[in-house]
Amino acid sequence: MKRQIKSFLLVALSVVVILAMFAGCGNKKSGSSDVYDDTKPYTGKFENGKLTKPFHLKIVTPTDFNEAIIAYKKGFFKEVGIIPEFTGVLPANVSLAQSVIKGDNDLFGSGHVTTIAQARQGGSKLKIVLHSMVDSPDFDKLHMTWFVRNDGKIKSAKDLVGKKIAMSSKGSCAETLNAEYLRQNGVDVKKTQIVVMNDQQQEQALKQGNIDVAIVHPPFNMKIKNDGGVNILTTSYQIGEKAGDGEIGGLAVRAFSEDFIKKYPDVIKAYIVADLKAQQYINKNYNESLKIAADYLKMDIKNMAGNIYPDQKWIKPEQIEWWVKTAEKNKIAGFETPGKVKASDLYTNKLNPYYTGELK
């Protein structure tokens, strides 16, 4: 009898151990140590347009239209050996530059030339490796829209003296282009009140009278327009056009820390290939791309808007220079002294395989 009990207990214990092993395997994430260990040196190389070993790239979870969504959903990242790890929405008290320098994220995937310049001045050594979107006169592809209430008295830039203008942050594209808009129309920006407020909150604040102007990016511009009760005062395309180039008023850039670039040059090459594929796909399949992004962001497609991209494969120096000169003209923080910020210090094409001729 004792022998039977002992045998039963041994069998039972074996079953428990086996089940525990299976349970442990079932709970492992794709980024677990048996698949990926970021403490070990990465040994992959960029060959024939892709990495020889997969690389997990940390990216802030997008909250609006971004080509990274398309690169992920259409498999362009996968094609080049990049596995995107979306790290979550960036906390309000943490800048993207800080998170990239700290290593919480790898890609600086949302910003403009002035953003990178100011981050560098603050000690965050970021370097632009690729262009992103440009502006368009089409409403559903605009970079930014200036909204006012349709029952108000604001009809032109001259009416903005003493008024509250909301923008997502200081030192941003909104600050630069808003200052340029006022300068073009002979209005001193110091005679207006700048209110920092994220795009999602601006519609309600405008309609409640807490602000006089809302400056928003897509897709929030589409929602505000659809909800009604507003007029468009100006757009980033119109501001850029008056400054000599309508498209350039929307030029965004993609960057990494200089340390990351030095450590993972082959990953930069692969990223550029994937991102450019996504850009080109969006241009050719815009409506489908909007739907993909709307599904990812869990937004109603009727309120969705996005961006388009330039027909180029590497950064053009004059694009970077335009933003530097525009910031200088308007004495944006860090650009008060002409020539202090050198456009050539902000970007590199040296790891772009199309620029170097590694790929055609």
Once rounded to an integer, what is the mean pLDDT over residues 339-345? 97
| Mean pLDDT computed over 18-45 | 54
6 has a pLDDT exceeding 60 = no
What is the model's pLDDT at position 321?
97
Banded model confidence at residue 37, pLDDT cuts 50, 70, 90: low
Section 245-249 average pLDDT: 93
pLDDT at residue 31 above 50?
no
**Average pLDDT score over residue span 284-288:** 98
- 3-state DSSP of the chain: CHHHHHHHHHHHHHHHHHHHHHHHHHCCCCCCCCCCCCCCCCCCCEECCEECCCEEEEECCCCCCCHHHHHHHCCHHHHCCEEEEECCCCCCCCCHHHHHHHCCCCCECCCCHHHHHHHHHCCCCEEEEEECCECCCCHHHCCCEEEEECCCCCCCHHHHCCCEEEECCCCCHHHHHHHHHHHHCCCCHHHCEEEECCHHHHHHHHHHCCCCEEEECCCHHHHHHHHCCEEEEEEHHHHHHHCCCCHHHHCCEEEEEHHHHHHCHHHHHHHHHHHHHHHHHHHHCHHHHHHHHHHHHCCCHHHCCCCECCCCCCCCHHHHHHHHHHHHHCCCCCCCCCCCCCHHHCECCCCCHHHHCCCC
Res. 92 pLDDT band, cuts 50 70 90? confident
Own/partner long-range contacts of 223-230 (Cβ < 8 Å, ≥24 apart): 223/303, 224/145, 224/147, 225/139, 225/145, 226/302, 226/303, 227/203, 229/149, 229/150, 229/151, 230/147, 230/148, 230/149, 230/150, 230/206
Q: Identity (one letter) of the amino acid at 301?
A: I
Angle at 131 between CA 43 and CA 168, to 5 degrees: 110
**What proportion of the chain, given as a percentage, has pLDDT over 90?**
86
Residue 88 has pLDDT above 60, yes or no: yes
- Average pLDDT of the chain is 91
Residue-wise pLDDT tens digits, 297-332: 999 999 999 999 999 999 999 999 999 999 999 999
Question: What are 174-195's pLDDT values in tens digits?
Answer: 999 999 999 999 999 999 999 9
**Confidence bin at 8 (pLDDT 50/70/90):** very low
127 alpha carbon, distance to own chain's centre: 15
Which is nearest to 254 in space by CA: 139, 100, 87, 81? Answer: 100
The pLDDT assigned to 171 comes to 81
Mean pLDDT check: name the lowest of 1-10, 39-48, 90-99, 187-196.
1-10
Domains of the chain: 46-134+251-356 (3.40.190.10), 139-248 (3.40.190.10)
**pLDDT for res 91:** 84
Question: What's residue 203's pLDDT?
Answer: 98
